[in-house]
Amino acid sequence: MLDGKSDAENKGREAKNWEEVAKEFEITSPAQLRETLHEAAKMRKGLKAKDYEQLRAVMGQLRNSEKIQRELRARIAQLRKESDALKSEENEERRARVTGEREGQRVAAHVRPP
């Protein structure tokens, strides 16, 4: 019993399905049915192989994408470090310039012309 039905009912339903398939594919003999089933099996295997190849290609692209993302992240981190170094240099120069101006003003304040 399958699906709560008797074996006879299931076999009858299977036969009906095969009759519909035979009509759809215009199968008139058992030999033609075997040939059609053989071709269908080859196509199914071919599709599976094709799907597998597509999957491999997509996985390869994904791996390449992940590799590129890692490289980009590393490059971004490097650029951030370089940017931070330049900013700190600019800040030091600015501090030195401001400090020098302040010292110059202090000197100028102490040395007033008579």
Q: What is the pLDDT of residues 42-70, one digit of tens each?
A: 777 777 777 778 878 888 888 888 889 99
Domain encompassing residue 24: 7-110
CA–CA dist 27, 38 (Å, integer): 13
The answer to whether position 2 is within a domain reads no
Which residues lie across from 5 on neighbouring strands? 2
Question: Does the model's pTM come out above 0.75?
Answer: no
**Do 27 and 21 form a contact (C-beta atoms < 8 A)?**
yes
Q: Residue 26: its pLDDT value, please?
A: 74
Q: Which segments of the chain have a pLDDT < 50?
A: 1-2
- The alpha carbons of the chain give a radius of gyration, in whole angstroms, of 41
Please state the domain count of the chain.
1
In a domain, 1, yes or no: no
In a domain, 69, yes or no: yes
pLDDT number for residue 57: 83
3-state secondary structure of 2: strand
Task: Give the pLDDT score at 114.
Answer: 57
Q: Which amino acid is present at 80?
A: R
Q: How does 30-62 read in b/e, with b if 16+ C-beta sit within 10 Å? A: eeeeeeeeeeeeeeeeeeeeeeeeeeeeeeeee
